[in-house]
């Protein structure tokens, strides 16, 4: 069974609206990013560095902990429901089954993480609440995303950041901001959004149960999600072992300025992965054309204004790292183009293609680690940035190899479940 007729449109027609939807999602993502910066500023100006560091330890690990404990089930939900008529399936029942899996997994992962970092009391409780709430939000909004309600879905994932920012400002204004109240604000915001979304009625209410094979498929998608998480962090982990922390500070600070590419990548894949299932045929060239134009503009902006932005934001303290802007920008451009094979393979191609892509991504991680170990020793921070760009290039090449090997599926009707 393929995608429903009401969603089966020509690729040219869908591309016209896809760019608009990506723009709307990007606006919401950027709004959430601004609020995250605001929250961090409030905390940094109000609490001792040790307490800010403890909060950052939990928030910094949240994406990885959630990715691990979600077990790819959010992506599997999008993959299934975006290619079939959700009205025939018992989506609420399926959502409950997934939540029954990922919430206990979240507790277990948070406890393991808390034990490794010797977290206890309110800090450990906060880690558990944040991971389990994040998992619930991701699962529930994945149903909205699969239904092509991208703006509403991404807004749901950004609601915790909005709640945290509001609560921290209120606590600051009444003079009650402390480590304990900050932890309370985090738990209230994340847990409150999870409960709010869980009580919302939505999705198909058909009688056909969602096959268990969909949940098994999620484990392949977990591998892809983890490979991405490792790719964006391995260079910093190795720098922290081989070079002084002052060098890592320069590298991480300059990288933070380059996050525009990551915001764009997230916005594109968020819309494109389910949307490729609504196309009669997928034209890789047409998908790449707007990305090429966008990449050229952002690349040029970083090269022209990057130095000035770094100087103004950090008052000249990190000017010595501006030579990293060029290799970081190259990685960013490659990452934008990678959004096409990532979305097409993850959203449209059969399960065999997921396996092939996972092998390529695993190889890319190994190459990335080896190149970082070699080039950091010989070229310092520049070696890390170059190694990352090369690794992303190999990852992109692997994606196109997998798409070429499965090109018949770019036009053939999709099966509900990969085989």
- DSSP assignments along 125-178, one per residue: HHHHHHHHHHHHHHHHHHHHHHTT-HHHHHHHHHHHHHHHHHHHHHHHHTT---
Q: What digits encode the pLDDT tens for the residues 165-204?
A: 889 999 999 989 998 999 999 999 999 988 888 877 555 5
Average pLDDT score over residue span 353-381? 86
Please give the Cα distance from 159 to 189 (Å, whole number): 8
Return left, alpha or beta for 316; rule: phi > 0 is left, psi -120 to 50 is alpha, else beta.
left
- The confidence score (pLDDT) of residue 11 equals 45
How would residue 3 be classed by pLDDT, with cut points 50, 70 and 90?
A: very low
Q: Calculate the dihedral angle through the C-alpha atoms of 77, 79, 83, 88, rounding to the nearest 10 degrees.
A: -20
Mean pLDDT of 3-7: 45
The winner for highest mean pLDDT among 38-42, 137-141, 233-237, 295-299 is: 295-299
Could you give the CA distance from residue 360 to residue 243 in angstroms, rounded to a whole number? 29
Is the pLDDT at 284 greater than 70? The verdict is yes
pLDDT in tens, 308-320: 988 877 777 778 8
For 120, list phi and psi in degrees, rounded to 5: -150, 170
Query: Taking all residues of the chain, what is their mean pLDDT, rounded to a whole number?
Result: 79
Whole-number pLDDT of residue 19 = 59
In the chain the first and final C-alpha atoms are separated, in Å, by 13
Give SS3 for 288. helix
Percent of the chain with pLDDT over 70: 78
Q: Name the residue with tokens 């990007």.
A: 26
pLDDT digits (tens, 9 = 90+) for 258-272: 878 887 887 788 778
Place 323 in a pLDDT band, splitting at 50, 70 and 90: very high
122 pLDDT higher than 90: yes
pLDDT at 1: 42
Map residue 211 onto helix, strand or coil: coil
Residues 143-162: b if buried by 16+ CB within 10 A, e if exposed: bbbbbbbbeebbbbbbbbbb
* Statement: the pTM of the whole predicted model exceeds 0.75: no
Report CA torsion sign: 395, 398, 403, 404: positive
Q: What is the pLDDT of residues 344-361, one digit of tens each?
A: 887 777 778 877 888 887
- How far is residue 282's CA from residue 342's CA, in Å, rounded to a whole number? 13
Q: For the chain, which residues make up each domain, given as ranges?
A: 1-210, 211-419
Selected residue with higher pLDDT from 247 and 395: 395
Tell me the average pLDDT across 78-97: 72
Q: For residues 58 and 114, what is the distance between their CA atoms, to the nearest angstrom?
A: 9
pLDDT for the residue numbered 37: 63
């Amino acid at each position: 069974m393929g995608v429903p007729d009401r969603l089966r449109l020509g690729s040219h027609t869908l591309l016209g609206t896809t760019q608009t939807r990506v723009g709307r999602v990007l606006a919401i993502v950027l709004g959430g990013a601004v609020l995250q910066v605001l929250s961090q500023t409030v905390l940094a100006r109000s609490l001792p560095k040790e307490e800010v560091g403890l909060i950052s330890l939990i928030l910094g690990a949240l994406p990885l902990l959630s990715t691990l404990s979600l077990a790819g089930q959010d992506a599997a939900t999008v993959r299934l429901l975006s290619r079939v008529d959700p009205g025939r399936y018992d989506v609420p029942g399926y959502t409950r089954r997934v939540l029954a899996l990922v919430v206990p997994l979240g507790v277990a992962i948070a406890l393991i993480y808390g034990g490794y970092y010797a977290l206890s009391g309110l800090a450990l409780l906060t880690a558990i609440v944040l991971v389990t709430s994040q998992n619930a939000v991701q699962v529930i909004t994945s149903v909205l995303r699969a239904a092509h309600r991208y703006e509403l879905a991404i807004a749901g994932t950004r609601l915790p950041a909005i709640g945290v920012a509001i609560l921290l400002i209120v606590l600051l204004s009444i003079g009650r901001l402390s480590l304990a109240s900050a932890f309370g604000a985090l738990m209230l915001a994340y847990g409150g959004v999870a409960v709010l979304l869980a009580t919302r009625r939505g999705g198909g209410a058909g009688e056909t149960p969602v096959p268990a094979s969909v949940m098994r498929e999620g484990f392949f998608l977990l591998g892809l999600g983890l490979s991405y998480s490792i790719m964006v962090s391995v260079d910093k982990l190795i720098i922290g072992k081989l070079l002084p922390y002052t060098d890592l500070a320069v590298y991480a600070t300059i990288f933070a300025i380059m996050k525009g590419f990551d915001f764009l990548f997230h916005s594109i894949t968020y819309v494109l992965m389910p949307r490729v299932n609504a196309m009669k045929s997928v034209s890789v060239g047409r998908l790449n054309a707007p990305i090429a134009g966008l990449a050229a503009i952002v690349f040029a902006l970083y090269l022209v204004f990057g130095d000035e932005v770094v100087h103004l934001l950090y008052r000249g303290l990190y000017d010595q790292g501006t030579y990293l802007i060029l290799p970081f920008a190259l990685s960013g451009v490659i990452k934008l183009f990678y959004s096409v094979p990532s979305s097409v393979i993850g959203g449209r191609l059969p399960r065999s293609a997921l396996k092939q892509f996972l092998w390529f991504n695993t190889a890319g991680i190994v190459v990335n680690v080896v190149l970082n170990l070699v080039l950091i020793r010989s070229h310092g921070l520049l070696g890390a940035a170059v190694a990352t760009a090369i690794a992303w290039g190999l990852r992109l090449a692997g994606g196109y190899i997998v798409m070429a090997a499965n090109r018949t599926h770019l036009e053939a009707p999709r099966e509900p479940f990969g085989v």
